[in-house]
Structure 1
Amino acid sequence: MNAIEFIKNNGVDKAREVLEGAPSNAESYQDGYYFRTKPEFQFHNGFHPVWNLTDNDGEWFKKDGFDPVLINDLKMILESIRLVDQFGGLDKAKLLINLKKGMGYLKQAIADYELINEGK
């Protein structure tokens, strides 16, 4: 699942909760579990201090509709939300883009923000 879909379906607070609870080296998250694939497929429940190996390279997770959200993508989208909010919301951020050139980072943040709020 991509990060925009995750936030649309679960909300910003859940995305922040996922990031705050992520163990070190977590690459992705789905249904209460964190995952990493290197050096081997491993999962973590977010509570115990150790990663768990699977004896079948994660096939149990993969056959059950494995489509995790990437941790780094969640971080980037949450940063976009923070940035747009910092500029006073979507309308003010758009106005600022029109007034000043060279703010490509804000333009991307606005695009991310709009995708999250699309259809609401």
Structure 2
Amino acid sequence: MERAHRLSKTQPQSTSAEALWYDRHALALWEAAAQLVASRSRADHLIDDEMAECLHGLRRVVREMQWPLSPSHYSVLREIGWWVQEIVESLEEPRYAAFREHLGELHVTAATLAAGYHRVRFGDA
């Protein structure tokens, strides 16, 4: 209740599916993205240049995010969502099995958020 009240003061009411999803999941998406970025320093030996570039791109956009959430930040969240989705899809490749294992529950969280992001952005069921 307090969160809804706070958000009502900081952002105009929007009923789009994207806005509703961001209201519920933006912070979790951003936090998971930041954790993926941080994982690089602890597991750089488990990734290749392609994954390193994806994590670097994600790092750049994670740093761009500003709070409190407002519709003006949706473009940044879209890019975060896109990078997370790219990384999650790449993680399915056998060459990233050790990195996937290193990520553990973060991989599951990122995959769940990426699927929700994709559903709301592109209408896939």
Please give the range of the TM-score, normalised by the shorter of the 2 chains: 0.3 to 0.5
Structure holding more strand per residue: 1
TM value normalised by structure 2:
0.31
Q: Which has the higher contact order (CA 8 A, sep 6+)?
A: 2
Q: Whose helix proportion is higher, 1 or 2?
A: 2
